[in-house]
Amino acid sequence: MQTVETARADDDALTPPALKEGHSDWPSFKKFLGLFPLSTSMLVVGMALTLLVQSYVVFRELGHLFLVGTEWDPVYGSYGALPFLAGTLLTSVLALLLSLPLSMAMAILLGEYLRSGLFSSFLQGVLELLAGIPSIVYGFWGLMVLVPFVRVLQETVGAPTFGVSVMAASLLLAVMVTPYAASVGAEVLRLVPQDLKEAAYALGATRLEVLLGVSLPYARSGLFAGMMLSFGRALGETMAVTMVIGNANRLPTSVWEPASTMASVIANEFAEAVEEMHLLSLVALGFLLMVVTVAISLASKWIIQHLAGGEGR
């Protein structure tokens, strides 16, 4: 039978030399790790400053008219970002609302009812596959499938049958962002403590009551985080949206009309921008898109912290 002294000797033999010397290498390694978040922060700040410096001329000459202007015509030197800001928010919010039922259903199915098994592995593989498909492939699929489908819907409601429209872009984005919210939601639901569920079952709760009264309230901050991850993905999508939204540089008054987003107009016009003001206005759109993304991220973080404070009650 192994004695205590023998066990200690074996432990000493397996202990790395750096740990025997009182963790002498740990401060240096800690400093080395600290370089990575510092470099990431510097990269974000550098990107923001670069865009701000390049677009400063636009904000100085146009002022608030750049933000509230509704006309974008490089030929006559008119640059108003409001149509693209409205198009970006409209398509992203509508895509989030359209994807919410399917993503929540998939998250509940994988996180509560199909936690393991062959079918669960198959569904998770499908979600990972959908998340990994290139956006240009989604764009081609949208042109071939979603645009004719939206044209039928437009005929049904009596709208002009453009096909390419805000609705087509929103439907395509909904398909693209669903895997993100579903995957995060499923992982969060799997982390709900089993003790809480068993306590609810012991009190006579049904499986649906446990889901609605225990699992979803406990995991609400994580579920919201998955939704915001999807929303951020929708905000910055470029190529797929460019192919199905119609690229009309005007303020959308209906979801059945063509429009443009900030990302799509940059992709369409940046290579063809000849005038300096035109080029700088596109850079200013990029800075505006970054500001909107950061603002939504900060607001989402505050909401998540507020929701997390009430979890488990």
Residue with tokens 């306590």: 199
For residue 283, what pLDDT is reported? 92
Tell the residue number behind the tokens 């406990």, with chain if given: 218
**Structure confidence at residue 1 as a pLDDT band (50, 70, 90):** very low
Greater pLDDT, 7 or 212: 212
For residue 119, is it within any domain?
yes
Q: How many CB atoms lie within 10 A of CB 251?
A: 18
Q: Using an 8 Å Cβ cutoff, are 148 and 163 in contact? A: yes
User: How far is residue 183's CA from residue 40's CA, in Å, rounded to a whole number?
Assistant: 26
Do the domain assignments include residue 15? no
Question: Is 113 inside a domain boundary?
Answer: yes
Q: Ramachandran region of residue 47, left (φ > 0), alpha (ψ -120 to 50) or beta? A: alpha
Write the CATH number for 95: 1.10.3720.10
Percent of the chain whose pLDDT exceeds 90: 30
Q: How confident is residue 311, by pLDDT bands cut at 50, 70 and 90?
A: low
Give the integer Cα–Cα distance in Å for 167 and 87.
11
What pLDDT, on the 0 to 100 scale, is given for residue 140?
Answer: 93
* Residue 275 reports pLDDT greater than 70: yes
**CA–CA distance from 276 to each of 76, 269, 283 (Å)?**
13, 13, 11
DSSP string of 108-145? HIIIII-SSSHHHHHHHHHHHHHHHS-HHHHHHHIIII
Q: Indicate if the pLDDT at residue 305 is higher than 50.
A: yes
Q: What is the mean pLDDT of residues 152-169?
A: 88
Instruction: Give the pLDDT confidence score for residue 306 in this predicted structure.
Output: 78
Residue 53 belongs to some domain of the structure: no
- List all residues 6 or more positions away from 152 whose beta carbon is below 8 Å from its beta carbon: none
| pLDDT score of 5 more than 70 | no
Say if 49 falls within a structural domain.
no
SS3 73: strand
Phi-psi region of 250 (alpha: psi -120 to 50; beta: other; left: phi over 0): beta
pLDDT tens digit sequence for 223-256: 888 898 889 889 888 889 999 999 888 888 889 9
Say whether pLDDT at 135 is over 80. Answer: yes
pLDDT tens per residue, range 54-63 = 888 898 888 8
pLDDT tens by residue, 196-215 = 888 988 888 888 888 888 88
State the pLDDT confidence band at 38, using cuts at 50, 70 and 90: confident
Average pLDDT value for residue range 73-93: 91
Asked if residue 48 is part of any domain, the answer here is no
Alpha helices in the chain (DSSP H): 4-14, 17-20, 26-62, 65-68, 82-108, 118-132, 135-141, 147-157, 166-190, 194-202, 207-210, 216-218, 220-236, 239-244, 262-269, 276-308
187: containing domain: 62-70+79-308
pLDDT band (50, 70, 90) for residue 23: low
- Decide if 37 is inside a domain: no
pLDDT beyond 70 at 310: no
At 132 the pLDDT is 86
Burial class (CB in 10 A: 0-12, 13-18, 19+), 162: middle
* Residue 263, pLDDT score: 92
Whether 260 contacts 245, CB under 8 Å:
yes
**Is pLDDT above 90 for 93?**
yes
**Structure token digits, residue 284:** 């200013």
Number of domains present in the structure of the chain: 1
**CA-to-CA separations, 29 to 21, 40, 47, 68, in angstroms, rounded:** 15, 18, 28, 50
Over residues 167-184, the pLDDT tens digits come to: 999 999 999 999 988 988
The reply to whether 262 falls in a domain is yes
| SS3 category, 249 | coil
